[in-house]
Structure 1
């Protein structure tokens, strides 16, 4: 099934979670994720099941000093 992550189309297996796609694209769990304009809590990443056509926005935190 197709989903969109940061304006790029990805094909994922039905039943995939947000954490599955984060692992697939090589991003750590320490990112902010919105699904269809709704911000997820980090504890939801492993349980939120993606649906066809979902639009994800993933932002990595900035670090520095």
Structure 2
């Protein structure tokens, strides 16, 4: 959605690139602190995480604010 590389996500989340690589490959689940940092970085960039609402959890890109 954002077109970020693993290195860009790692930098934005202030975690190591291997943490991102392992998470994407399903090798390991990040520690709670790293996961919170990844989520915060994505939310800061405009990603919205939607909860389970009968149709499944998901993500979307937040709409930019409209001008008056």
TM-score w.r.t. the length of structure 2 is 0.27
More strand by share: 1
The structure with higher relative contact order (CA 8 Å, sep 6+) is 1
Larger Rg: 2
More helix by share: 2
TM-score w.r.t. the length of structure 1 is 0.28
